[in-house]
Amino acid sequence: MNNPNLASDISQIITQNFGKLTDADTRILKVLTSDPIRGAFENSTEVSSRAGVHPASAVRLARRLGFSGYPEFRSFLQNSLMEGQGEYADPTARIAARIARAGEGGLLSSLIDSEVTALEHLRESVRDAQIREFAEVLLGARRIFTAGTSHGTALAKLMAMRLRRSGYDAVDLGGVGQHQIEWAYTMTDRDVLFLSCFRGTTQQLRHLTDIAAERGATCLLLCDVDEDYLKGEKNKQICVSRGGAGESQSLVVPMTIANTIILDLASIDAGKTMRSLNAFKRVRESYRSASS
Tell me, yes or no, whether 133 and 153 share the same domain.
yes
The CA distance from 180 to 147, in Å, is 9
Tell me, yes or no, whether 206 and 146 share the same domain.
yes
pLDDT given at position 194: 96
The CA distance from 193 to 197, in Å, is 12
pTM for the full model? 0.69
The CA distance from 236 to 217, in Å, is 12
Mean pLDDT by 10 residues, the chain (292 residues): 46 79 91 81 91 94 91 83 54 61 67 86 94 97 93 93 97 76 89 89 84 92 79 84 72 94 97 96 87 70
Q: How many domains does the chain have?
A: 2
pLDDT given at position 231: 64
pLDDT given at position 110: 74
**Under a CB-based contact definition with an 8 Å cutoff, are residues 117 and 136 in contact?**
no
- Residue-range definition of the domain harbouring residue 60: 10-105
pLDDT given at position 247: 62
**Crossing angle for the helix pair 23-34 and 57-64, nearest 10 degrees?**
90
Domain boundary among 105, 137, 152: 105
Tell me, yes or no, whether 143 and 170 share the same domain.
yes
Domain boundary among 64, 80, 105: 105
pLDDT given at position 292: 67
pLDDT given at position 90: 57
